[in-house]
């Protein structure tokens, strides 16, 4: 059975953590003139940090894991490697979490070699210290035991993915009721995302052709 330690993160916590992180940055006396959000996870924290630190300039760079065809291992890539001139700027690179750190390291190295900032520092809301290959210059929470943080900006995507995993794991079961799925979800992930998100994710799986809704049951189609 899938058991993934998961914490549901609320919007209020995101504001509190971003405010706390901004205080850490302020105390350091580092004054960024450009914030670079690592896309996609860094978007919301980066925008909030711009607000709390009164930074006008916000750009983003998409660094993400990419599963190569026929390969199990994932590789980090810069998706749109565009060029800008930052030699007069102090850059704050912002992400939500430093887990392995692979995507962040790639983004940092790309910016240093292609955008050539005067200075670059890294900030993240959370840093999973035992697994991370890099320690951010600024962080708000050090995480000592790996868990999945279910951030509010991936609520729908994660919920659909989690439900799909449940169905794949029990592939002999071809019919699920809503309450069976909800109970299994709680049991596997230990969180409740709320009815709106749960139903939206189920609708998505129906639209993707993985489930079919019939007589108050979800029938498993192609996975």
Q: Which is nearer to ligand ADE, 117 or 136 (CB)?
A: 136
Rounded to 10 deg, the angle between the 155-169 and 178-189 helix axes is 100
Least distance from ligand ADE to the Cβ atom of residue 204, Å: 19
Residue with smallest beta-carbon separation from ligand ADE: 99
Q: Residue 99 region, left (φ>0) first, then alpha (ψ -120 to 50), else beta?
A: alpha
Write out the two tokens for 118: 């005067």
Does 95 interact with ligand ADE (rule: CB under 6 A)?
Answer: no
Nearest partner of 106 among 80, 79, 78, judged by Cα:
78
Write out the two tokens for 97: 């979490």
Q: Which is nearer to ligand ADE, 32 or 45 (CB)?
A: 45
Number of residues that bind ligand ADE (CB under 6 A): 4
Does 97 interact with ligand ADE (rule: CB under 6 A)?
Answer: yes
- Positions 59 through 78 that interact with ligand ADE (CB under 6 A): none
Q: Which is nearer to ligand ADE, 115 or 151 (CB)?
A: 151
Nearest partner of 63 among 104, 94, 7, judged by Cα:
104
Does 193 interact with ligand ADE (rule: CB under 6 A)?
Answer: no
Is 121 in contact with 26 (CB distance < 8 Å)? no
Is 101 in contact with 72 (CB distance < 8 Å)? no
Does 99 interact with ligand ADE (rule: CB under 6 A)?
Answer: yes
Least distance from ligand ADE to the Cβ atom of residue 143, Å: 8
Least distance from ligand ADE to the Cβ atom of residue 158, Å: 8
Nearest partner of 107 among 128, 85, 91, 126, judged by Cα:
91
Binding mask 125-154 for ligand ADE (x = CB under 6 A): -----------------------xx-----
Does 102 interact with ligand ADE (rule: CB under 6 A)?
Answer: no
Does 197 interact with ligand ADE (rule: CB under 6 A)?
Answer: no
Which residues does residue 75 pair with via DSSP β-bridges, in sequence order? Answer: 66
> 57-67 and 74-78 as β-strands: parallel, antiparallel, unpaired?
antiparallel
Least distance from ligand ADE to the Cβ atom of residue 216, Å: 33
Contacts with ligand ADE, residue ranges (CB under 6 A): 97, 99, 148-149
């Amino acid at each position: 059975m899938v058991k993934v330690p998961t914490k549901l993160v609320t919007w209020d916590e995101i504001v509190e953590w971003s405010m706390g992180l901004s205080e850490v940055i302020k105390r350091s006396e580092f004054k960024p003139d450009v914030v670079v959000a690592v896309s996609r996870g860094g978007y919301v924290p980066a925008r909030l940090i711009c607000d709390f630190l009164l930074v006008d300039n916000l750009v983003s760079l998409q660094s993400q894991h990419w599963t190569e065809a026929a390969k199990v291992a994932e590789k980090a890539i810069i998706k749109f490697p565009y060029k800008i001139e930052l030699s007069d700027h102090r850059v704050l690179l912002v992400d939500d979490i430093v887990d392995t750190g692979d995507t962040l390291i790639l983004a940092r190295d790309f910016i240093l070699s292609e955008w050539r900032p005067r200075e670059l520092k890294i900030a993240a809301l959370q840093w999973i210290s035992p697994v991370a290959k890099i320690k951010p210059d600024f962080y708000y929470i050090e995480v000592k035991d790996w868990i999945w943080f279910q951030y509010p900006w991936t609520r729908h995507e994660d919920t659909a993915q989690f439900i799909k995993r449940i169905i794949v794991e029990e592939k002999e079961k071809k019919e699920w009721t809503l309450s069976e799925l909800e109970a299994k979800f709680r049991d596997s992930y230990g969180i409740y995302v709320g009815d709106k998100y749960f139903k939206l994710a189920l609708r998505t799986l129906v639209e993707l052709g993985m489930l079919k809704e019939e007589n108050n049951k979800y029938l498993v189609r192609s996975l």
